[in-house]
Structure 1
Amino acid sequence: MPLTLQDVDRFESARPRLEAIAYRLLGSAGEAEDAVQETYLRWQAADVERIEVPEAWLTKVLTNLCLNQLASARARRETYVGRWLPEPLLDGDPMLGPAATAEQRESVSYAVLTLMERLTPNERAVYVLREAFDYPHREIAEILDLSEAASQQIFHRAKKHIADGKARAEVDEAAARAIVEEFLAAATSGRTEPLVRLLTSDAVAVGDGGGKVPARTKGFEGALAVAKFMRGLFKPAPAKRALIGGAADMYVTTANGGPAVVAVVEGRVVGVMCLEITAEGIAAFRSQANPDKLARATEVWAAADHGEPLLRMF
């Protein structure tokens, strides 16, 4: 039976929440959109008049589609060229979803999305549904075909894995922006010492080029190694300019709710560097340069008022 306009409207009203759930589960905006579209096709084929609670039905279908996707994604990532990192979302992107609580904001942070790659698909699903969307364990158990006790156990285990991998307490937004600006000044100074002073002793730097942009498979570890890498990364060179298609305007902005540096060439986002900043200094740099994972960032960037760049380089 064809969907009525009311049925279509019911799905469309649920779409933002479904996309936000799928993005947290998959770490990819493109894959999230595909999962939501497949959910719509399932909705279209269902006898919707017999579905008592549409929100629960849609969430169950979407979550299980994402679980299947996560299982196959693990196999694909074994052949991925270089380090796999999530797709960053810039400030204002509706796919970031709810941000009313600290738990909701943290669940979509780039650091936590990266840590969630260590979780099993079930752990990731329970963590996302409970932490980010405040689903009761009774409903999560029904969505995942678990017992309520099992859902609670999986959640505590997932939360512990995330907590064990997190950095120290972060600083507030204004302080973080000042540190990012100081970092850019130090990185373009051509000297290593100012950079080292901004980093924690165990700082790390990792990047994802997807085989299309040069990026080391193994990241850099330790303040000195990271500082030397950053000094080289921000050193102007004709080859870098040719690689990205021109001079890059560098902006300090927000991605996934945290401080970030965005590189833009003629309106196209060519790189997003997410920084993890703690009271002790910058603990991590996670850079996304794979063009396949920056198309949505470019769309959001084009629609936003982002002010003047902090500097131009390359």
Structure 2
Amino acid sequence: MNEDDVLAERFEEHRVHLRAVAYRMLGSLSEADDAVQEAWIRLNGSASEDIENLGGWLTTVTGRVCLNMLRARKARPEQPVGAHIPDPIISHPDGPDPEHEAMLADSVGLALLVVLDTLAPPERLAFVLHDMFAVPFSEISSIVGSSPTAARQLASRARRRVRQAAPAPDLDLALQREVVDAFLTASREGDFAALISLLDPDVVLRFDGGQARPALSVVVRGAKAVSEQARIGARLGVSVKPVLVNAAAGVIVAPRGAPVAIMGFTVRGGRIVAIDVLADPVRIGQLGVSAFVS
């Protein structure tokens, strides 16, 4: 085995970890893969024999690549209008596979990723690298071009936003599924009282129709308004397939076996506090979810 093969093998040992870092930073599976590939290119072009801690070096490089991608994204004039749902990770109801499990450690639900999307790029980087991957502020500061104290403040501001907007969900998957199933049943039956009882008073529904249907990309707040939307959707007569969406109870909406939407639910205190619906036909096709409804 030559030196290039050894380096590639060592890189592969860190790929899943780096993809997890990039997914939290970008909320996009394809962009996460691009960031990891860029980290490999930079490693391949560096004096790798001088790197003492390869895992730490790659994490830092991936973070820097993601920060640049986030800044470029923010600078683009054609920002999406209305709700935007990050790429969901779909797994079978009996549990995620090992790679998905590594990607989703720390309860990285869609609601959390939505909040991370609202952060300034340096805040997101400081929070993700420090709070989720224990990267020291001394290293984070070198990425964002600040002092360690300033990097700590970035993470602190981000942490407050996350705690306020995306509090920790219930971890009992059986309870989540029970609540979600009851919600779907009440929606089909048009049982307004049951819907209200299953929804947190401040529940938020985010619906992302994508660039093809921007008028459908909306945010609906409050139990009454969300209940009305649920009853309207149920009248369409669609069928659903239970799945895990970012390791939480969710469904794929698939009338006649064709996926048209992915719904992720956040349950806290036995009530639904967030419903995230991805109905972008382009992105659903890219996620390859047809296998879950066949």
Question: TM class by shorter-chain length?
Answer: 0.7 to 0.9
User: Which whole-Å CA distance do the structure 2 matches of 1:281 and 1:288 have between them?
Assistant: 21
Give the aligned residue type for 1:109.
G
Match of 2:260 in 1: 270
Could you give the per-residue CA deviations for residues 82-131 of structure 1, whole angstroms, max 9, x where no partner exists?
Answer: 422211112326256366xxxx423x111111111121111111111122
- Write out aligned runs for 1:253-292 (5 A): 253-264=243-254, 269-279=259-269, 281-292=271-282
Give the TM-score normalised by the residue count of structure 1. Answer: 0.81
Residues 207 and 88 (structure 1), Cα distance of their counterparts in 2 relative to 1, 3 Å cut: same
How far off its partner does 1:158 sit? 1.2
Q: Which residue of structure 1 aligns with residue 80 of structure 2?
A: 80
Unpaired runs of at least 5, structure 2: none
Contact 1:267 1:298 in 2 (8 A): no
Report the CA distance shift for 1:185/1:35 in structure 2 as closer, same or farther (over 3 A): same
Q: 2: CA distance between counterparts of 1:298 and 1:44?
A: 31
* Shift, 1:192, TM fit: 2.7
CA RMSD of aligned residues (A): 2.7
Matched residue of 1:129: which SS?
A: helix
Letter in 2 for 1:73: R
Task: Give the whole-Å Cα distance in 2 for the aligned partners of 1:285 and 1:77.
Answer: 28
Matches for 1:1-314 after TM superposition, within 5 Å:
4-76=4-76, 78-91=78-91, 92=96, 94=99, 97=102, 104-106=105-107, 108-167=108-167, 170=170, 172-213=172-213, 216-236=216-236, 249-264=239-254, 269-279=259-269, 281-295=271-285, 297-298=287-288, 302=291
Is this contact kept in 2: 1:98–1:105, CA < 8 A? no
Greater CA drift, 71-80 or 224-233: 71-80
Whether the aligned pair in 2 keeps the contact of 1:85 and 1:114 (CA below 8 Å) is yes
Deviations, residues 16-54 of structure 1 (Å, cap 9, x unaligned): 111110000000001111111122122222232233332
Q: How many residues align?
A: 288
- Give 2:102's aligned amino acid: G
The change in CA–CA distance for 1:82 and 1:23 in structure 2 (over 3 A counts) is same
Query: Could you tell which deviates more after superposition, 220-229 or 133-142?
Result: 133-142
Q: In 2, distance between residues paired with 1:63 and 1:266?
A: 42
Q: Secondary structure at the match of 1:105?
A: coil
What is the alpha-carbon distance in structure 2 between the residues aligned to residue 295 and residue 166 of structure 1?
28
Where in structure 1 are there 5+ consecutive unaligned residues? Answer: 238-247, 310-314
